């Protein structure tokens, strides 16, 4: 249990850093913001997400949780007792209560196994054979791993939830970066240039992973539009978030391969700049050191993330991913800094 002293400290931090208007029904819980732009932690293990599903205010709590995640990018909970079924229920409710299309459900990753224990819509994030280290090269930049979940799908992810149940002795942190702040940090002229562009997101390298592991690529992956063998899609370079209304940069090094309106040389140059813009600006990132059974919930429309592959031994968790809507850019939408009058 968390100590009374730490509770007092966390309560003080929450009063100083967290906007109650974003918390809604969650404002009664101890929480604090990890950085100004991204990440909020609920450190008290007495706050259990499983209880949200049973509470008389269940819909209010879950909707406020989803809204907070959409604004803060990623939210963390300590030492959770969520079952796999409860993870799925919570993920479905978060999307349902924030306007997810009725045709969207839980994603089935192309190379996740359909196990009796977990089902086809749970991804095993594991250093011992799951998808955690697919395509990782030891002698390469750690920043090459930045990505947004399943952006190669026609209808990509909204929320993702990962409960990490097995950890190495040290290492294995995860980083998230704010797509809102990445957009806001660009010059107005560059923002305007990017807003007329679309990009190809390609995950067809998973076919090689499937062949190597003797797996069949899963079909009908959470939406009637996410079908077939072609794991690629075209999305706007800047998208509007349907919950917050904020603009976010929506390209990532793992899946984004080409800006379609540019020549290949122009595209390579622009994408390399944008990838480095995300990975090298540490002040729009948050780094999380996992505790056993901690849960992270993030919004793929607002953030990118990457694992830190600096460990040996077993590191495992179960991830559930919701499928959202087709990405769009609303020309009337605003940036996060503009909407909230942020000046720092």
Q: Report the catalytic residues.
A: 147, 149, 305, 319
Sequence-separated (6 or more) residues with CB below 8 Å from residue 5: none
Closest among 182, 164, 163, 188 to 276, alpha carbons compared: 182
Sequence-separated (6 or more) residues with CB below 8 Å from residue 3: none
Neighbours of 75 (CB within 10 A): 24
Calculate the CA dihedral of residues 97, 242, 251, 189 and round it to 10 degrees.
Answer: -160
- 201 DSSP β-pair partners: 233, 256
Q: Find out whether 251 and 271 touch, Cβ atoms under 8 Å.
A: yes
Element (H, E) at 197: none
Element (H, E) at 117: none
- Give the chain's count of helices (H) and strands (E): 10, 15
Neighbours of 17 (CB within 10 A): 14
Q: Find out whether 238 and 335 touch, Cβ atoms under 8 Å.
A: no
Q: Which two tokens stand for residue 58?
A: 């269940």
Q: Which two tokens stand for residue 147?
A: 């990505």
């Amino acid at each position: 249990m968390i100590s009374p002293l730490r509770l007092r400290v966390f309560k003080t931090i929450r009063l100083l850093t967290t906007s109650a208007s974003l918390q809604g029904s969650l404002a009664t819980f101890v929480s604090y913001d990890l950085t100004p732009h991204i990440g909020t932690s609920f450190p008290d293990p007495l706050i259990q997400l499983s209880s949200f599903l049973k509470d008389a205010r269940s819909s209010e709590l879950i909707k406020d949780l989803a809204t907070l995640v959409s604004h803060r990018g990623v939210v963390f909970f300590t030492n959770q007792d969520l079952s796999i079924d409860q993870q799925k229920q919570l993920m479905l409710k978060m999307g349902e209560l924030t306007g997810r299309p009725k045709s969207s459900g839980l994603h089935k990753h192309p190379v996740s196994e359909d196990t009796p224990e977990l089902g086809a819509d749970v991804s095993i994030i594991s250093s011992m054979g799951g998808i955690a280290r697919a395509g990782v090269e030891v002698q390469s930049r750690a920043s090459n791993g930045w990505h947004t979940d399943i952006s190669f799908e026609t209808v990509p992810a909204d929320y993702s939830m990962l409960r990490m149940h097995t950890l190495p002795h040290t290492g294995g942190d995860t980083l998230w970066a704010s797509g809102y702040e990445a957009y806001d940090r660009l010059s107005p002229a560059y923002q305007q240039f990017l807003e007329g562009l679309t990009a190809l997101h390609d995950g067809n390298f998973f076919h090689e992973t499937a062949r190597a592991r003797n797996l069949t690529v899963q079909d009908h992956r959470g939406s009637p539009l996410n079908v077939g063998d072609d794991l690629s899609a075209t999305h706007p370079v800047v998208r509007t978030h349907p919950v917050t209304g904020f603009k976010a940069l929506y390209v990532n090094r793992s899946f984004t391969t080409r800006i379609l309106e540019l020549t290949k040389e122009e595209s390579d140059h622009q994408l390399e700049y944008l990838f480095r813009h995300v990975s090298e600006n540490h002040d729009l990132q948050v780094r999380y050191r996992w505790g056993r059974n901690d849960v992270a919930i993030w919004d793929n429309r607002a953030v990118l993330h990457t694992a830190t592959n600096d460990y040996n031994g077993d590191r495992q968790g179960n991830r559930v991913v919701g499928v959202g809507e087709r990405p769009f850019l609303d020309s009337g939408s605003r940036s996060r800094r503009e909407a909230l009058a942020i000046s720092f």
